[in-house]
Amino acid sequence: MSDLPEDSGPATQLYRHRTETVSEERGSGPAVVFAHGTLMDWTMFEPQLDALSDDYRTIAYNLRARTDRFQGPYDLDDLAEDCRVLMDAKGVDSCVLAGMSMGGFMALRFALEYPDMLDGIVLIDSMATPHDEAEREQYGDMVETAKAEGDVPDPMAEAVSHMLFGQTSIEERTELVEHWKDRWLTYPGEAVHDEVKSWLHRPGVEDRLDEIDVPVLITHGAEDVSIEPERAEPMVDQLPDARMELIPEAGHSSNTENPEAANAAIREFLDDVY
């Protein structure tokens, strides 16, 4: 399997033009909906769509920042509502919702707001607790610079690559890392600013995890330096039905860095849920 999605086809062209709605759907069966993290887009789930669409209806979509609706302010509750609208539009009554990082922050709130629309949750390199004050200041300063400059500057793309990818990918998956760095440079600075602001000052939901009664799979890159695995571990005990799988040789974008390991964990979970 290639590290990179094909830069062709209708979905990619839609992405390039930042149209209102961009999604990719493959397969049939029980639905699995994928929501990406900050600075990413639906294509980060290309390995999962390829691997799982033989048994499942897989849907990956672009959240607001990667569409023409990138202007804020908006928050995670708005993104949860967007996900509900997407599911309604596609006739999905319930699904397993898989969210990476920001997508995971949203998925937990979706579970609390729309419990009857979920069969399970996959949290990819995410957490229930808020970021601390030092992180808020660091990320806030970074996106203020991007907004002021009008786009994502090269130094920011370089710095972010070390946050969103593990050391193994930095050293050995250079094509994958450079692909995403090039993509980030095309983003409007305002879009990135408002995307980060949608979750930067969020309250935690760790005190409400006992309300989520669907099965939850937590997958986490062993080399994640943005959200270290130990920050996700408490959710295993706080959630009524949860398990955690470490993805080796992968960082914060573990599902695209080591898709074979991630896909194996997700498929086993889906087979148990359905």
Q: Tell me: the pLDDT tens digits for 191-201?
A: 999 999 999 99
Predicted local distance difference test score (pLDDT) of residue 23: 93
Segment 85-99 shows an average pLDDT of 97
Break the chain into its structural domains and give their ranges.
Answer: 10-131+202-273
pTM above 0.85, yes or no: yes
pLDDT over threshold 70, residue 59: yes
Is 10-131+202-273 a CATH 1.10.10.10 domain?
A: no
Segment 236-245 shows an average pLDDT of 98
Report the phi/psi class of residue 150: left, alpha or beta, with left for phi > 0 and alpha for psi in -120 to 50. left
pLDDT over threshold 70, residue 15: no
Q: What is the mean pLDDT of the chain?
A: 92
| CA–CA dist 46, 60 (Å, integer) | 8
| CA–CA dist 272, 55 (Å, integer) | 13
Least confident of 2-16, 48-62, 79-93, 104-118: 2-16
